[in-house]
Amino acid sequence: MPGLQPARGTQDLLPETMRRHRRVSESAREAAALYGFAEIATPIFEFTEVFSRPIGEHTDIVAKEMYTFTDRGGEELTLRPENTAGVVRAVLSNGLTQSTPLKFFYSGPMFRYERPQKGRFRQFHQIGVELLGVATPQADIEVIALGSRIFNELGIGERVTLELNTLGDPESRQHYRTGLVSYFSARKNSLSEDSLRRLATNPLRILDSKDEGDREVALGAPRLADFMTDRAQHFYNELKIGLQYVGIAFTENPYLVRGLDYYTHTVFEFVTTDLGSQGTVLAGGRYDGLVELLGGPAMPGVGWAAGIERLAMLIAEPAKPARPVAFIALGSAAELLCLRDAERLRDAGFPVEFVYSGNLQRRLAKANRLQARFAVIVGDNEIHDGKATVRDMDSGAQSEIPFDDLSARLASLRGLPE
């Protein structure tokens, strides 16, 4: 029955998976704080114009991939396909443009109607950063260094490679666009249908086409280096020198592009060979024209986003939660006493679970299924004696511990190897 299954392209994040996701997002959040990035959360849906205006009506994202709907008030809304536009909208809505530089970190779900495949879902999750108000390459270096630090914290720094390119300034880009249109127009018969469409809208996107025929044609295409202004070349050189100075290795990839006009100068991706065709795990770039495009003042920006699902597939299995203490209360008087003592143990940092029903043996079996480290058993005899029976669930050994000493005694036993 379809109603009993998650919608296509979505998944339930069960505890094992959630531990991996949390490891990624918490590591990123902690690293971002070291660089002065404050966490922000924007709504998961916005007015459609927030995305359609900067992304462009003729792009695949807007034409094919966005989840857009009209609400009961007649407003056209879209589930966010990415978060940069939402963050910029938040800056403008909240009057923050005079407070630059602005440095934001985010983590949350995004939505695109794509063909589901390994590491790619229709509801997916991203971490990301945006740095607004700094026009120099130091900002680009900082956000790239943050991404690199996150990978190292996750233990996968050796499994990813930084690919780098420049789109130049607007003048360089316009000249380059003209050169590309001339080159690819003379070779229309060899281009795919998608690239023919891009020729009229975003010719730079032909350079990163996955179609083998397109890739063959692109090998002879002009290079942006031949169209760069001195200013744009200086920016790129400063970026590369800075990355080398802080010890971040990179590979230059002239086919790495962004098709939208508000992107300038730096584009970069961290890629891996460990996830098959879905090798990009973090992508970013400089978007100096975006704030103005959304109705704000001219303001430079640079940032990146990384897929939590893909990163979660790369990291080692996170440590499991501490094993709990299981309380087994035999009788109503024991239940009250156990409720009190469970709170005391939680105050001391112990996870505690109650085993509510069944005879003693069944409850001990349930405690085993909970992977409890200790079982605290309380019945009428224990209440009379003022001591709980504590069973070591690994060895089976039992001891009697005064109720007031439970926290201290269990703390001394908790250091035993598990």
Enter the tokens of residue 83: 């978060």
**Which of 182-191, 246-255, 257-266 shows the lowest per-residue confidence on average (mean pLDDT)?**
257-266
Enter the tokens of residue 31: 């690293």
**Which of 68-72, 153-157, 204-208, 404-408 shows the lowest per-residue confidence on average (mean pLDDT)?**
204-208
Domains in the chain and their CATH numbers? 2-169+229-314 (3.30.930.10), 325-410 (3.40.50.800)
State the Cα–Cα distance between residues 40 and 38, nearest whole angstrom.
7
Enter the tokens of residue 227: 């169209």
259-to-65, 281, 305 alpha-carbon distances in Å: 16, 19, 17
Mean pLDDT of the 286-309 span: 95
Q: What is the largest CA-CA distance in the chain?
A: 95
CB neighbourhood size of 322 (10 A): 12
- Residues with Cβ within 8 Å of 212's Cβ and at least 6 positions away in sequence, in order, are none
State the Cα–Cα distance between residues 341 and 324, nearest whole angstrom.
14
Q: Classify 327 as helix, strand or coil.
A: strand
Q: Classify 335 as helix, strand or coil.
A: helix
Mean pLDDT of the 248-275 span: 89
In the chain, what is the straight-line distance between the N-terminal and C-terminal CA atoms, in Å? 43
Structure confidence by residue, pLDDT tens digits, 394-412: 999 999 999 999 999 998 8
- DSSP secondary structure code for residue 321 in this structure: P
